[in-house]
Structure 1
């Protein structure tokens, strides 16, 4: 990725809005207030379906002339792949990985930053997690859209929420992403949060 101006920081709440096309999933990342009112478009992202090695780039403009950050798999797409979040200059700002064994019962992700910070994200509702898995195995029914919304909370070892993703009902997939400040004032980089949020939609079935 080429160099770009330093991104803004300190966003507490984002909205991720998906637009489906034939071969590409497109996402808009917006800043919102506590009431969900849009405060401005931050960036766009695209994910090519059936990619040999997963990579998603976030751009400042719809023309895709200025990359801002992105994430890519550390290997050819498989169940054990991890994903590195990189800034516009290619420097790591975070990473995430799906915990395959834990996800058999309840989808689980591990999220971290280069300074050694880690947290774990799980589906908020364990009962919905079970229902989704049963739905996938029922003949014919499993080919229909899952009728239950699923949400995620990312927590530190002491239970503090670092990031939450809440899916809203609508014709388009829309997620509200909260990035609360911790007791020491630290907040997860919004770019890492946006990358994880898009991954929860784009890679959840893998």
Structure 2
């Protein structure tokens, strides 16, 4: 995900790949028919880390880090996460509103002077997902609910959407109307919506 792509991308996909010790995500472009295209970045999250950090790399070799997000605090349900570029410079941040998220997951995102609030699109799906996850079957069988998020600015304009696709593994289509967000920050938020959703 070059600086040019990071600034000008308006759609991409996030695909989760499950491995034994880490959660891995592929960030891919979107083809004309809406399918995943070429690889933009690979993200990796260590499981059971005391301080959440996810690093995005150029490719599967994971030798060239492109950007990352990192929690400011350890084991904090309301932690703020900073999005950092390859030089560890802050380019954005996000945090979960723990109180509002008890009913409908809500996040606050900032980058490039833009502020957005993201919430689950459907209250019914949000409640259904919570009921499913609270049952014994929810620990064994992945949730069948396809949850979507809309991020809007203070004027109600949509800046980013994340829509979960119909797939056995987690797969999301991310849309950035007008490409106003830095694509790196949007990719970090998109991965966080999956990786940190249960927190």
TM range (shorter): over 0.9
Q: Deviations over 1:115-172 (max 9, x none)?
A: 3x2110000111111111222333x233232221111000112211100000011122
1:1-206 alignment, distance < 5 Å: 6-8=3-5, 9-33=7-31, 35-113=33-111, 115=113, 117-138=114-135, 140-143=136-139, 144-181=141-178, 187-206=180-199
| 1:36 Cα deviation from its structure 2 partner | 1.2
Unaligned runs of 5+ in 2: none
CA RMSD of aligned residues (A): 1.7
| 1:18 Cα deviation from its structure 2 partner | 0.7
Unaligned runs of 5+ in 1: none
Q: Deviations over 1:57-78 (max 9, x none)?
A: 1000211111100100001022
| 1:6 Cα deviation from its structure 2 partner | 3.8
Q: Distance in 1 between matches of 2:71 and 2:112?
A: 16
Ranges of 4+ aligned residues in structure 1 off by more than 3 Å: 4-7
Q: Distance in 2 between matches of 1:35 and 1:5?
A: 23
CA separation of 1:120 and 1:170: change in aligned 2, threshold 3 A: same
Structure with the larger helix share: 2
